[in-house]
Amino acid sequence: MVFIPIDAKAGKAKMQISLQKNSKSPAKVHKIEFPVEIMFGEARAPLHEEKEWLSQGWDPELSTEENMKKMREFRIKQSQKYISGTDEVKYRISPYGGETFTPGEDKRIMISLTIKDGYHTYGIKEGEGYKNTEMNWELPEGFELISCNWPEPTIKKQGEFELPVYKKQIHFRAYIKTPSNAVKGKKYKINVNTIFQYCNHESCWLGEANNLIEMTAK
């Protein structure tokens, strides 16, 4: 199975897969094009779960179009499990490269914040005139949060206050040090609780996101 990005800006990628119905039948090659997630200007390679679905769930008896419909449904289901928040502000927190890790590695965690048009939320730095965002990580024993690299917010002046504002969509990364003695095949759970204030031009509210990440040591 080969993944070939062809147009990151347009959000497209090409994948070529070769599948056999059984060991005696000839391999059938499928060339498919589908939307991919774009982060930091690069096309994201399929997650481990997507690769597993392509290798096990792709049905050689169905047409490419029928298989692609099944894959789109799978991608939507996978994506939704990483999302939490309110209707106005949604946090998507997911492990880069799939839900497995090599014991001892620094695992990259991808964080996306999507804010509804007409609304904004605030940065993590405390200040006057707003409630700062608080993100709390509950990690298994032996795991350590190395960094969480929030992007610089836009500063909005409101009277005597300077408000650190986020609008529309932002992407950033966190890194978690995994323990070298993690048990192979064991699933570890990471909970991320985020308390945030969000506002429109009329009022403000407090919101909460609870994201669960499950990763298995390999």
In the structure, what pLDDT confidence band is assigned to residue 43 with cuts at 50, 70 and 90? very low
Within the chain, all domains assigned CATH 2.60.40.1250 are found at 84-217
Give yes or no for residue 49 having a pLDDT over 80: no
pLDDT, one tens digit per residue, over 180-193 is 999 999 999 999 99
Q: State the amino acid at position 115 in one-letter form.
A: I
Q: What is the mean pLDDT of the chain?
A: 79
Give yes or no for residue 80 having a pLDDT over 50: yes
Cα first-last separation, the chain: 21
pLDDT, one tens digit per residue, over 198-217 is 999 989 999 999 999 999 99
Q: Provide the pLDDT for residue 65.
A: 74
Average pLDDT over residues 15-21: 50
Q: Provide the pLDDT for residue 67.
A: 72
Average pLDDT over residues 157-169: 91
Strand 100-101 relative to strand 42-43, pairing: unpaired
Of 2.60.40.1250, 3.10.350.10, 1.10.10.10, 2.40.160.40, the CATH number of 84-217 is 2.60.40.1250
In the structure, what pLDDT confidence band is assigned to residue 140 with cuts at 50, 70 and 90? very high
For 174, list phi and psi in degrees, rounded to 5: -130, 155
Average pLDDT over residues 71-98: 80
Top pLDDT among 179 and 32 is at 179
Average pLDDT over residues 144-154: 94
Q: Provide the pLDDT for residue 158.
A: 85
Give yes or no for residue 31 having a pLDDT over 70: no
Dump the DSSP string for 95-156: ETT-SEE-TT-EEEEEEEEEE-TT-EEE-SS--SSS---EEEEE--TT-EEEEE-PPPPEEE
Give yes or no for residue 100 having a pLDDT over 50: yes
